[in-house]
Structure 1
Amino acid sequence: MVNILVVDSHPVVRNGLKHFLNELPDYNVIGSLRSGVEIFEFVRRNNVDIIISEIDLPELNGITALRAIKKENKKIKVIMFSHQPEEIYAISTIKAGASGYLNKSADLDLLQKAVETVLEDKIYLSEKMDKHYRYEDTRKSRTRLFKRLSTREVEVLKLLSIGKKNKEIAQELDINEKTVSTYKARLFKKLNVTNVVDLIHQAEHHNLT
């Protein structure tokens, strides 16, 4: 049984979520709270798997509560269920430690999908925000890789990606073939591959070419 805690300042929302989720198999709403400060004592006393929480809460902001909860209870999944625009808050709440963000205008079947998704240790966002989140993640990965590669390694990588052979690369960069082989070996190690085909695939995946 999945134990769920609902946190919202509006009784109608709390009761509505409780009724909906308790009707689903394997879900049990074990508590409904109105403020962020109440969460900490509740999770200390009860076995909570998922918290579904509004951002705008009395006494303590939902995002502030989220950060504190995740420091003490890393295993608890938190879904932010808010009326606030997802374009502004969705990704920032994920970065703060949430496992999902759902706008209150969403259909109830999406709430069920969000719960199922986070239980699989995945991030739940709307389709639009998911694309934006993945783009940001790829861009960060690309930046990290670029920092790890030297200027010459990037040049060799780009030439390899357009089909240049070692001899051609050596001529174009005015270095000897042995040096080209050294750069290739470094690229294999840094991008964790063992051949040129996989090297190019990795480079394309991270938009390095």
Structure 2
Amino acid sequence: MENKKINIVIVDDHPIVIEGLKMMLANQLGFTVSESFTSGKEITSFIRNHKVDIILLDITLPDANGTELCREIKKISPATSVIMFSNRSERSIIMQSIQNGASGYILKNTSIDELVVCIQGAHSGNIVFCNETKEIISKPSHNEVPIPRLTKREKQILQMVADGKTSIIIADELFLSPLTVETHRKNLLQKFQAKNSTELISRAAQQNMIDSN
């Protein structure tokens, strides 16, 4: 009896990346790429009704932060293994992805041989990394700010600050007092260990926590 193929879904906002992966994985015995998507909304909708073994998930999507999306996917389908597949090589993002339930983290410059081994490993229940990712996580950066935990309101205000809105405008749009907004801004500066709003936005962008569109 033929072994069942590992069912893979690719989520990436670059169609050329999807097509390249499909071609490479199509030549591998035991794999089948059943679907591909370019947004977070599409994959969460799909896995509610379909069984998926492995999801290759990009960090940066037009409608979602990959690390947060990973957590959502695992809530919907705990049996699905999510492997982050990204150009982002910051140690904090790699560790946050694993904390959010990812089964691995692979950089996009990884060879097809490494990718295959990682997919097989994740399907067997292991946490997998490409060689370059292993090197990154083995060398903790002392000056790297860990990804802070933000409340829903803090995330909202952080985005509005990044959009260039003043505390008065934010207070007006969120029906809060300017003093409350200022308190949230001070808390954000503290959590990101930032001296001012410019540094706050820069660090939040590095952590992929704001929408740059």
CA distance in 1, matches of 2:135, 2:23: 32
Supply the distance in 2 between the matched residues of 1:36 and 1:62 (Cα, whole angstroms): 8
Q: State the match for 2:181 in structure 1.
A: none
Q: What is the root-mean-square deviation of aligned Cα atoms in Å?
A: 2.0
Q: Which residue type is aligned with residue 61 of structure 2? A: L
Q: Aligned pair 1:21/2:25, yes or no?
A: yes
CA shift in 2, pair 1:134/1:121, >3 Å: farther
TM-score by length of 1: 0.60
Aligned to 1:98: 102
Superposition TM-score, scaled by structure 2 size: 0.59
Residues 140-176 of structure 1, C-alpha deviations (whole Å, 9 max, x = no match): xxxxxxxxxxxxxxxxxxxxxxxxxxxxxxxxxxxxx
Structure 1: gaps (5+ residues)? 137-209
* Counterpart residue number, 1:113: 117
Counterparts of 1:37-76 in structure 2, within 5 Å, are 37-76=41-80
Runs of 4+ in 1 over 2 A off after TM superposition: 126-136
Contact 1:66 1:78 in 2 (8 A): yes
Maintained 8 Å contact 2:53/2:79: yes
In 2: Cα distance, 1:33 partner to 1:53 partner: 10
Larger Rg, first or second structure (1 or 2): 1
Which structure 2 residue ranges, 5 or more long, are not aligned? 141-213
Instruction: Describe the SS at the equivalent of 1:45.
Output: coil
Q: Which residue of 2 aligns with 1:12?
A: 16
The number of aligned residues is 136
Residue 129 of structure 2 aligns to a residue whose secondary structure is coil
User: Percent identical across equivalent pairs?
Assistant: 35
3-state SS, counterpart of residue 73 of structure 2: helix
Distance between the aligned counterparts of 2:80 and 2:18, measured in 1? 19
Read off the aligned partner of 1:97 and give its amino acid letter: G
Query: 2-side partners of 1:132 and 1:85: how far apart?
Result: 8
